[in-house]
Amino acid sequence: TIMQAQLHCFYLLTLYLTTGYGQEGMFSGPLKPMKFSVFEGQEPSQIIFQFKANPPAVTFKLTGETDGIFHIQPDGLLYHNGTLDRETRAVHKLEVSALDAHGATVDGPVHITVEVKDINDNRPMFLQSKYEGSVRQNSRPGKPFMYVNATDLDDPATPNGQLIYQIVLQLPKINNVMYFQINNKTGGISLTVEGSRELDPVKNPSYNLVVSVKDMGGQIENSFSDSTSVDIMVKENIWKAPETVEIVENSTDPHPIKITQVRWNEPGAQYSLADKEKLPRFPFSIDQEGDIYVTHPLDREEKDSYVFYAVAKDEHGKPLSYPLQIDVKVKDINDNPPMCPSPVTVFEVQENEKIGSSIGTLVARDMDEENTMNSVLVYRIVDQSPKSPTEGLFLVERYTGMFQLAKQSLKKQDAPQYHLTVEVSDKDFKTLCHVQINVVDINDQIPIFEKSDYGNLTLAEDIAVGSIILTIQATDADEPFTGSSKILYRITEGDSEGRLGIDTDPQTNAGYVMVKKPLDFETAAVHNIVFHAENPEPLVPGVKCNSSSSAKFTLIVTDVNEAPQFSQQVFQAKVSEDVAIGTKVGNVTAKDPEGLDISYSLRGDTRGWLKINHVTGEIFSAARLDREAASLYRVQVLATEVGGSSLSSTANFHLTLTDVNDNPPRLVKEYTGLFFCYPLKAPGSLIFEATDDDQQSFRGPQFTFSLGSESLQNDWEVSKINGTHARLSTKHTDFEEEIYNIPILINDGGRPPLEGAVSLPVTFCTCVEGRCFRPAGQQAGIPTVGMAVGVLLTTILVIGIILAVVFIRMKNKGKDNVESAQASEVKPLRK
């Protein structure tokens, strides 16, 4: 055993050295409460700490949760010689005491805590090797319907114990679409959007999933995993719209009455109804069982159907699924009696009407549903008054309400009027309607005019429309106020244009002849009119109108002087702008309705371009016309009748001027600032633009450009860029510092072509910062004569002074005052 102990000591010593234990403070120290962390599953033995003994302490004792693994050597070396397992004990609470030579405690016990740190030494495991669950078709996507659960003994506060769930496989897989999803943290399995839409127990009642779980937060490296099988049954969705509900209207049962129900797939849903029709009063309700009620009696005649929606929500107010549409149809009951069309319905029968002829139809109405027994009406005559000469004179067709003469023709002497009481009945109700039958005379009398000729009437043609010009009268001996005696007047001759009309007074049968359209002396000065009188009812056979039913009338229209009339309000003409003065450019015509001569004149000829022939209306140019000044020239023409009241009227004359090429091209602006820096380092160029005042084609001008002088061709070149722009380039660099005026010809290529000769001033000047430098009051580079003379004089003066100095120096050589003389002469030079 001594050998063993020594061996052990040696082993410990090795560890001690290699791990660095024993350094004061970190790995060794006096006895005091301490805390250590040690990874589980490490090498079987490790030194933890070296306690130092203070006399009289000579040895140490370890107690507490040592689990036979923690030990202390008499010299105070705390170590463990067994593998730690966090899952067995995560924290070891130890006590260390210091003992003296007699074994009595002299220090402590102090608390020593050893925390065992986790390593990933446990694999996750599903609690079940197989799970079973079920889901309703159309369940809300993302809402878990079951959970799988795995455990891992490792510390859940470290990745070692963090589990991630995953669906590895779904069987069957349809179109490669996942119908299920799993919450990777909770293991909750729910439907995907596609699953919610497409799962159908009829097509596929069960699915199998393989679900895996991984620790290490799902990392692939160093993680353990497990898997399980999940069987899922798909159950039918019971959240379905119920059948259309039929509610009988006007129910007397106590309300509310349950009419239908909806059910969510699981209990606990909160139900509500949504009224999309925005009714003023919504007569339905739902309770928390999903039962739907009608809250009061309905009236089909007010509204015969309802559509609303049932909604199921979860406890947070989130819809569990789509709303269900509830259709309600209100069933008719016969709760409306038939209604008469009016309090009294009046028919007229002529005296000589034959048996069986139709008199008229009574159409009663019923508010109940059409085409059902509730609105089928039956007609029956219940009473006739008077009953002379006999009862039952009339018949009514049972279902149509058509009345007929039943027994004999009627005679006014018997009774001029009958009152019938007619019973109109539907299934349950009876209504009495009243029919009055008037017996009217036969139309055996023709209308006869009071006179056959209404003579002559003279009217001015400008009489107002609507004026009554004549009253005519015919009489009819038939029964008054019937269709046999009422008179309608017609004009059969003399008014083919319909200028007159006749209204009949219903009381007196007088006819009022009225002007309906303006009269016109010029087209119809005399109207020989024939009136005809007739009845709305036909005459009985054998009776015919004769000439007494017609009358004559002569309407004489007199002339009123009217202004001349132009044949059109706007006259248009078009000429080329270069027409010669005096060319006819247009003409206007007016006519006087009375046939008077007309004199034409112009108004608004502000430019004085036109003149008009007073007699013919022809218009001529009176000056040079210019399209560029006015392309559309508008004037007024006046037509005045000669004689009469000199009435006049006006019309417009619009003269469009078409372009001729009468403007040569020109530069678009005055180019003053074109320059090149002098001296020219390399050939350069400048761009300029031309324009033309003539009308241009849609392509714009197409000018050609050329140098205006052949002698310049060695120095300059003009090249076209496009129709309006050209480039002027130098051909060399050898130019003087001065202004060159370059003559340029611009041709417009028109018909005939016009050429503009322009001059482009180009300056060669000294440049300062890229800008032409021109001293004030002087053009750059061109010395004036005065300047030249000045320069010359200054040069001569300087030369003169220098010569004088030289001369004086030579003369005074050897003299003492050379220095002062030189100074006095040089000084002015420096000024």
Let me know if 707 is exposed, middle or buried by CB neighbors in 10 A (0-12, 13-18, 19+). Answer: middle
Q: Using CB under 6 A, which of 48, 340, 433, 446 touches ligand NAG?
A: 446
Nearer to ligand NAG, 335 or 520 (CB): 335
Residue 554 phi/psi, 5° resolution?
-115, 120
- SS3 at position 788: helix
> Which span (115-123, 143-151, 341-349, 796-804) binds ligand NAG, by CB under 6 A?
143-151
Q: How far apart are CA 696 and CA 749, in angstroms?
A: 11
User: CA-CA distances (angstroms) from residue 591 to 585, 587, 607, 810?
Assistant: 21, 14, 28, 119
Longest dimension (CA), the chain: 185
Per-residue binding letters, 668-707, with ligand NAG (x by CB under 6 A)? -------------------x------------x-------
> CB 71 → ligand NAG: shortest distance, Å?
5
Question: Of the listed pieces 83-91, 145-153, 322-330, 656-664, which binds ligand NAG according to CB under 6 A?
Answer: 145-153
Using CB under 6 A as the binding rule, whether residue 149 contacts ligand NAG is answered as yes
Q: How far is the CB of 723 from ligand NAG (least distance, A)?
A: 6
Among residues 27, 36, 147, 347, the one that binds ligand NAG under rule CB under 6 A: 147
Tokens representing 237? 């969705």
Site stretch for ligand NAG (CB under 6 A), options 101-109, 182-190, 228-236, 265-273: 182-190
Does 151 help bind ligand NAG (rule: CB under 6 A)?
A: yes
> What is the Cα–Cα distance from 19 to 166, expressed in whole angstroms?
43
Nearer to ligand NAG, 747 or 766 (CB): 747
Site for ligand NAG in 451-510 (CB under 6 A): 455-456
Residues 6+ apart with CB under 8 A from 68: 82
Distances (CA, A) of 468 to 472, 528, 542: 11, 18, 36
Question: Judged by CB under 6 A, which stretch of 224-232, 428-436, 585-593, 649-657 contacts ligand NAG?
Answer: 585-593
Tokens of residue 480, six digits: 């008054």
What six digits make up the tokens of 812? 């005074």
| Number of Cβ atoms within 10 Å of the Cβ of 823 | 9
Q: Of these, 88, 436, 548, 795, which contacts ligand NAG (CB under 6 A)? A: 548
* Footprint (CB under 6 A) of ligand NAG, residues 250-269: 250
d(CA 712, CA 26): 104
Residues 54 to 83 in contact with ligand NAG, rule: CB under 6 A: 71, 81-82
- Among positions 725, 781, 805, 808, the unique one binding ligand NAG when judged by CB under 6 A: 725
Rounded Cα distance between 485 and 477, Å, is 7
CB closer to ligand NAG out of 310 and 527: 527
Question: Looking only at residues 324 through 343 of this chain, which bind ligand NAG when binding is defined by CB under 6 A?
Answer: 335
User: What is the C-alpha separation between 138 and 127, in angstroms, rounded?
Assistant: 29
Shortest distance in whole angstroms from residue 132 CB to ligand NAG: 15
Q: Which of residues 6-35 bind ligand NAG (CB under 6 A)?
A: none
Q: Could you tell me the sign of the dihedral formed by the alpha carbons of 391, 397, 403, 405, in that order?
A: negative
Amino acid at 809: R
Indicate whether 299 belongs to the interface with ligand NAG (CB under 6 A): yes
700/691 Cα distance (integer angstroms) = 10
Q: Around Cβ 269, how many Cβ atoms within 10 Å? A: 21
Range in contact with ligand NAG (rule: CB under 6 A) among 91-99, 179-187, 602-610, 797-805 = 179-187
Q: Which two tokens stand for residue 560?
A: 């009123």
Calculate helix-pair angle for 818-830, 785-811, nearest 10 degrees. Answer: 170
| Coil, strand or helix at 517 | coil
Among 107-115, 422-430, 722-730, 808-816, which window interacts with ligand NAG (CB under 6 A)? 722-730
Residues binding ligand NAG: number (CB under 6 A): 31
By C-beta, is 377 or 588 nearer to ligand NAG?
Answer: 588
User: Would you give the DSSP letter of residue 174?
Assistant: B
Q: Which of 164, 311, 690, 780 binds ligand NAG (CB under 6 A)?
A: 164
Which residues sit at the interface with ligand NAG, rule CB under 6 A? 71, 81-82, 147, 149, 151, 164, 184, 186-187, 218, 250, 299, 335, 446, 455-456, 546-548, 554, 571, 587-589, 687, 700, 721-722, 724-725
